[in-house]
Amino acid sequence: MKAKTNMEGKYIKKCAEVSVAQTQKRCNMSEKEMKDEIEVIFFFHVHIENIFTRLFRTTSNYSYCCDECTAVLGLKSFPKITEDDFGR
């Protein structure tokens, strides 16, 4: 009877160790996936921020250019461009 109890104890211990190892492996895999997603999100965040910076700079330059043109031409305002101007 003692040998049977001893074998059961070893079996339970081995099952617990395997279960812990599997759980750790799943956690490590999930953690790696999350890190990869964070890197991708950070990459897009940086590039979107750069795009907005360039867009702001471009619109600022356009606005400055329009102001200069209206001053030179003596117009009260610069004409707005609409979709009809493109012949759609």
**pTM higher than 0.85:** no
Tens digits of residue pLDDT in 19-66? 999 999 999 999 999 999 999 999 999 999 888 888 887 777 776 676
**Domain spans, the chain:** 2-74
Q: Mean pLDDT score of the chain, rounded to an integer?
A: 82
| pLDDT of the residue at 75 | 60
* pLDDT score, position 27: 96
Q: For residue 54, what pLDDT is reported?
A: 85
* 70, 76 Cβ separation under 8 angstroms: yes
> Residues 70, 77: contact at Cβ < 8 Å?
yes
For the chain, the three-class secondary structure string (H helix, E strand, C coil) is CHHHHHHHHHHHHHHHHHHHHHHHHHHHHHHHHHHHHHHHHHHHHHHHHHHHHHHHHHHHHHHHHHHHHHHHHCCCCCCCCCHHHHCC
